[in-house]
Structure formats: C-alpha cells, structure tokens
Amino acid sequence: MKIGLFLINSKSLFQGQQKTSGLAAAKAAGAALDVFFAEGESRAQRDQMFAYLREGESPTAVVVEPVEDTGLRFVAQEALRKGSAWVMLNRTPSWVADLGQEMKGVAFCVTADQKGIGRVQGDQYRALLPNGGTVLYVAGPSLADSAQERLAGMEETKGPLISTIKIVGGWTEKSGYDAVRSWLETTRGFVEFHLLGAQNDDMALGAKKAASEMAAVLGKAAWRDVPATGVDGMAEFGMRLVEERTLAATVIMPPTAGKAVELLAATRPGGTPAPAITTIPVMSHPHLSLLRAKR
C-alpha cells in the first residue's frame, strides 16, 4: 500500500502526533506513508494532493485533515477516478460516502467526536464558573466544520449562566495570541470576561499569553490569573500545561490518522469495508469532578 497523508501545519504538536500515529500504523500494516504539510494554506493543500495523484502510479489512498473543506470534493473525485481511496480526518461531510457510492470506490471519514469536544468544554465552563460568567472563546476558522461542531456542542452544555464572546483564530498559538490581543486592544478593558476558552491547546496558550501581556498594558491585574482551557490534550503539551497550571483544563482528543491507516489496511481485497464514519470518543482532563472540587 502507498498512502498519502496530508496534514494542516507542521508547527502544530497535534499535527505532529497525527503524523506519528499514521507512520506507526503504516509500519504495522507494511504500507508506505508519504506525509505532507500545507502550513495552513488550503490552496497549497489541494495542489499537494493533485500533484501526488498525478505523479507516477496512483496511490492506494489519500488521507487528509483539511485546512478548509472548500473544494475538496473535486480532489476526492480525482482520487476515486484513479482508483485511490479517499479518507477525511476530523471532518464528516455527507458527500464523502455519497461520492464513494456514486463512483464505486472506497471513501470514509475518521473523526474525534467534534460535537462531543464542544459538549465537554461546555461542562468544563460550568465547573470552572459555577456562579456563571463570560467566556472569551477562541474558535477555529469559520469555514472548518470541526470548529462549527465544537461551537454547537459547547453551546448545548454551557448552561444559561455562561455567556460567550466568540473570536476567530487559525489553530496555531500565534493566531490565538493575535486574536485575543487584537480584541483586548479594541475593547480596552471595558468588556469583562472570566475565562479564556479555545478550540485547541495551541490557541489557548497564545490567548493566555496575550491576556497576561495586556494585563500590564491596561492595568488589569486579574487577567494574569484568568483560567484558560483548550483541546487536544497531548501528554507532552496540553496535559503538561494543565499539570503546570498554565491551563485549567483540556479535552483529550486522540489522533485519528493511525486509525484511518488501520481501516485502509482492513479494506484490502477480501477485507472488511470501513464504515462511512468512525468516531473516536474524547474526555475531559482533569475529570469534571476534579475541576468542580478545585473551584
């Protein structure tokens, strides 16, 4: 098997974990895995995939965690036309399974429970702010389905006492820093917030740094200690930041690339067809009961 794995950003630790899990699964399956990073550029990612499909022998599969979902259907059509499987990570557009059936090819999605991530975050906000309050919420790119699903899940569980102010980042620490600093510079401390919530740990760390810096600039000492939460929960990053008390909480989201490779290996001739969507569960770190006890 020859598989192309197309990821978002080489600077993201979670994307690095995706690469590691994919390589481990490929080694176990006796497959060759080529890994590409788009460095946050959706057009570059599409160009990478088209180039990979058009050079030499067609790959067994194209596995992608999209920068943006826009335009990917055309790439999927090209892959399936060439006899390659199409797999999407952490996205579940309905057209994937439909296109696989239409073109009589292998097409499926492997995702962490995106709405479940948001639900856990909403529960964390209630645990951290039992009397209510305002969350300055750093979401991922507006065109990313995962960002929208996490937002919807969070709004389901945060409860009526929690209000949110949404600003948009780009999954990186710098984007979280820039988004929060720009908002704080604009509002000049006249809008209160009691918690920083971000849709990944990188943005949460950037948001925390921006709040701390602007605390000195605007004389808002309380901003230095405002709790922050994120998502991804890797042992060497998000979980470590929680143990160091830099973050108040994270959501553990297991990598999905390895599972995708395992499913591809199982779908080889005579094997078991992969389900249209495989969902991997997520969990709070620390456990919600411990968050409540700490508060």
Model pLDDT for residues 258-285, shown as the tens digit of each residue: 999 999 999 877 677 899 999 999 999 9
Say yes or no: 221 and 267 in one domain: no
Say yes or no: 166 and 220 in one domain: yes
CATH of the domain at 225: 3.40.50.2300
pLDDT above 90 (res 294): no
Say yes or no: 246 and 259 in one domain: no
CA distances from 118 to 98, 123, 142 (A): 27, 9, 15
Say yes or no: 172 and 222 in one domain: yes
- Residue at 291 is within a domain: no
Say yes or no: 127 and 223 in one domain: yes
Three-class secondary structure of residue 83 per DSSP: coil
Residue ranges of alpha helices (H) inside 55-172 are 72-81, 95-102, 114-128, 145-157
**What is d(CA 86, CA 95) in angstroms, rounded to the nearest whole number?**
12
Say yes or no: 67 and 94 in one domain: yes
- Residue at 289 is within a domain: no
CA nearest 6: which of 59, 56, 57?
A: 59
Say yes or no: 106 and 184 in one domain: no
- Residue at 124 is within a domain: yes
pLDDT above 70 (res 295): no
Reported as a single tens digit per residue, the pLDDT across 55-108 is 988 999 999 999 888 889 999 999 999 999 999 999 999 999 999 999 999 999
- Residue at 293 is within a domain: no
Read off the pLDDT of each residue in 286-294 and give the average, rounded to a whole number: 86
Mean pLDDT of the chain: 94
**What is d(CA 241, CA 62) in angstroms, rounded to the nearest whole number?**
34
Domain count, the chain: 2
Strands of the sheet containing 61-64, edge to edge, are 32-37, 2-7, 61-64, 85-89, 107-112, 277-280
Three-class secondary structure of residue 272 per DSSP: coil
Say yes or no: 16 and 89 in one domain: yes
Q: Which residues have C-beta within 8 Å of that of residue 291, sequence separation ≥ 6?
A: 124, 127, 128, 248, 249, 284
Say yes or no: 98 and 216 in one domain: no
Reported as a single tens digit per residue, the pLDDT across 146-197 is 899 999 999 999 999 999 999 999 888 999 999 999 999 999 989 999 999 9
CB-count exposure of residue 247 (10 Å: 0-12, 13-18, 19+): buried
Q: At what angle do helices 42-54 and 72-81 cross, to 10 degrees?
A: 10
Tell me if 45 sits within 8 A of 6, measured CB to CB: yes
Say yes or no: 244 and 205 in one domain: yes
Read off the pLDDT of each residue in 5-13 and give the average, rounded to a whole number: 91
Q: Which residues have C-beta within 8 Å of that of residue 71, sequence separation ≥ 6?
A: 42, 46
Q: Provide the pLDDT for residue 273.
A: 85
- Residue at 221 is within a domain: yes
Reported as a single tens digit per residue, the pLDDT across 29-64 is 999 999 999 998 999 999 999 999 999 889 999 999
- Residue at 79 is within a domain: yes
- Residue at 212 is within a domain: yes
Say yes or no: 17 and 106 in one domain: yes
Give the Cβ contact number of residue 53 at 10 Å: 18
Tell me if 231 sits within 8 A of 201, measured CB to CB: yes
Say yes or no: 145 and 205 in one domain: yes
Domain of 265 in residue numbering reads as 2-112+255-281
Give the residue, 258 or 294, on which the prediction is more confident.
258
pTM: 0.83
Three-class secondary structure of residue 186 per DSSP: helix
Helix (H) or strand (E) holding 179: helix 173-187
**What is d(CA 23, CA 152) in angstroms, rounded to the nearest whole number?**
33
Cβ-count burial 139-155 (b if 16+ within 10 Å, e if not)? bbbeebbbbbbbbebbb
- Residue at 288 is within a domain: no
**What is d(CA 127, CA 104) in angstroms, rounded to the nearest whole number?**
48
